[in-house]
């Protein structure tokens, strides 16, 4: 199950992502927003982060205008490793090296054709499970302050 969240800046691209996941037969839970009306990206980052941390969803995808605000907001939650990616190399590397559990993108930055390839790369790449990467991720988590 994939958790989806966006603000008004990511609303249009999220529509393309949902259609793509449906074509691939991948299940998702849509945490909104559900219109192009102005809204606050931290609310959707929190909903998706909570769904991933509770185990309700395995991975998340977050989209705002730039992808920056929504990724910053998601990364405030302990255990979330949200990677802002606008290229497939980064999407592959963040799965292999960082075991990122949420992908963030900017709906005003990347077009749907490229974005869907980034989504596929993120979803289809497993964590490398290599010792050095596990050690570095553990250090990230040790440094993280507890969320409320």
For ligand RB5, the binding residue among 16, 53, 68, 93 (CB under 6 A) is: 68
Comparing CB distances to ligand RB5, the nearer of 60 and 65 is 65
If one asks whether residue 60 binds ligand RB5 (CB under 6 A), the answer comes out as no
- Please answer whether residues 14 and 107 qualify as being in contact, where contact means their C-beta atoms are separated by less than 8 angstroms: yes
How many Å from the N-terminal Cα to the C-terminal Cα in the chain?
Answer: 25
> Going residue by residue from 115 to 134, which x/- string records binding to ligand RB5, judged by CB under 6 A?
--------------------
Q: In what order do the strands lie in the sheet with 2-6?
A: 28-30, 2-6, 59-64, 102-106, 82-84
Residues in binding contact with ligand RB5, number by CB under 6 A? 8
For ligand RB5, the binding residue among 21, 64, 91, 116 (CB under 6 A) is: 64
| Cα 53 from Cα 117, distance rounded (Å) | 25
Smallest CA-to-CA distance from 115 within 90, 82, 81 is with 90
Minimum CB separation from ligand RB5 for residue 71, in Å?
Answer: 8
Binding site residues, ligand RB5, CB under 6 A: 7, 9, 41, 64-66, 68-69
């Amino acid at each position: 199950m994939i958790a989806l969240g966006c603000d008004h800046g990511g609303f249009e691209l999220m529509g393309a992502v949902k259609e793509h996941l449906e074509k691939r037969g991948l299940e998702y839970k849509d945490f909104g927003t559900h219109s192009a009306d102005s809204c606050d990206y931290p609310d959707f980052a929190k909903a998706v982060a909570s769904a991933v941390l509770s185990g309700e969803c395995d991975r998340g995808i977050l989209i705002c205008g730039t992808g920056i605000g929504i990724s910053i907001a998601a990364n405030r939650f302990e255990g979330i490793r949200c990677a802002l990616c606008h290229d497939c190399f980064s999407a592959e590397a963040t799965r292999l090296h960082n075991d990122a559990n949420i992908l963030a993108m900017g709906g005003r930055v990347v077009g749907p054709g490229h974005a869907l390839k980034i989504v596929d790369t993120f979803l289809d790449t497993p964590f490398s499970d290599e010792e050095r990467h596990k050690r570095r991720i553990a250090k990230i988590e040790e440094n993280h302050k507890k969320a409320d």
